[in-house]
Amino acid sequence: MSWLIWRQHRNQAAVAGIALGALAVILAITGVHMASTYHAALRTCGATGTCDSVGDGLFNGDGAIIDLVNFTVVVPLILGLFWGAPLLAREIEEGTHTLIWTQSVTRRRWLASKTVVLLCATALIGGVLALAVTWWSRTLDLSQHNRFDKFDVQGIVPVAYAIFGAALGLAAGIVIRRTLSALAATLAIMVGLRIVIANYLRPHYMTPMTKLTSIAASNTGLSGSNLALHSQMVTGTGANISNNDLLSALPGACSRYLGTTRAQVFSCLGSQGWQEKIIYQPANRFWAFQVIESGIFLTLAAALVVIAFRCIRRDA
């Protein structure tokens, strides 16, 4: 059975291996160069005391490789679409699975073999890719303090995404039994779920923290790779003012600065006791959030595998 699976999917494995190897070489070369550039800039800024802004514009010429790294966010989806969904759906459509079942191979053994190979291969691809991207991203993380912005392509969650994508495609293929329909279902469910979790669940994995900071012309009041969720103004009396109500709530003493610079308006508000309240997730929760989200997707993947096994029937 293992030999048959290898014969069926060796071309896909070869293409994936070549693409992954090429990407790893590109990341290794550019990663070393960017790290060298960053450390050289640190040595220079140390003499002038300007290291707080050392990352500003430092990698503007590396937009192409940064875009390529950001694009790796779709790799788990690609694995689900082109590895998971057709794996069983195509065999069921063409009827080749019934031939295999008559060769002393049970339905459960057939599915188990396919599932183990699929999930191990996607975990390997996702793991190597995540390791390479996480290593490459360390320079940007240090210089730009935006690690939460790259949450989906770093750490361990890409591995969980890859396994989930493969399991989703597998289950869609055996439930729907039509390759194109399974592809469409995999695409819709995975994209929709990723959007919902990233925007509505992830910010609340843990109770957010609150910080009051003085109003400045251009300053979030946070340092490091924090995940800022929401901010609003707080008056000297402690009343919360949303951004939409800011103009109507301006004190009379500060209204006369409208039409001038933002710095003058906010300087006046600061003198009136106004502050900015920031709701955020601190940078030190990055790995905790990675573990939580990975657990969610791995649990869903396990449930999808169970569904696939329950859908196996003799007349499939």
What is the reported pLDDT for 55? Answer: 65
Looking at 5-14, 55-64, 277-286, which range is the least confident one?
5-14
* Tokens coding 260: 């001038």
Higher-scoring residue by pLDDT: 251, 259: 251
Give the percent of the chain with pLDDT over 70: 85
Confidence category of residue 315, pLDDT binned at 50, 70, 90: very low
Rounded CA-CA distance 316/310 in Å is: 12
What pLDDT is attached to residue 127? 95
Residue scoring higher pLDDT (38 or 20): 20
Confidence at residue 257, expressed as pLDDT on a 0 to 100 scale: 80
How many other CB atoms are there within 10 angstroms of residue 33's CB atom? 13
Average pLDDT over residues 196-207: 95
Q: Which residue has the tokens 């999930």?
A: 119
Asked if the model's pLDDT at residue 232 lies above 70, the reply is yes
Cβ atoms of 302 and 168 within 8 Å: the answer is no
Q: pLDDT tens digits, residue range 64-123?
A: 899 999 999 999 999 999 888 888 887 777 666 555 555 666 777 778 888 898 899 999
pLDDT in tens, 173-194: 989 888 899 999 999 999 999 9
Residue range 6-31: average pLDDT? 83
- pLDDT above 60: residue 5: no
Residue-wise pLDDT tens digits, 152-174? 999 999 999 999 999 999 999 98
Share of the chain above pLDDT 90, in %: 41
Domain boundaries, the chain: 2-55+62-203+286-310, 209-281
* pLDDT over 80 (residue 217): no
Q: How confident is the model at residue 300 (pLDDT cuts 50, 70, 90)?
A: very high
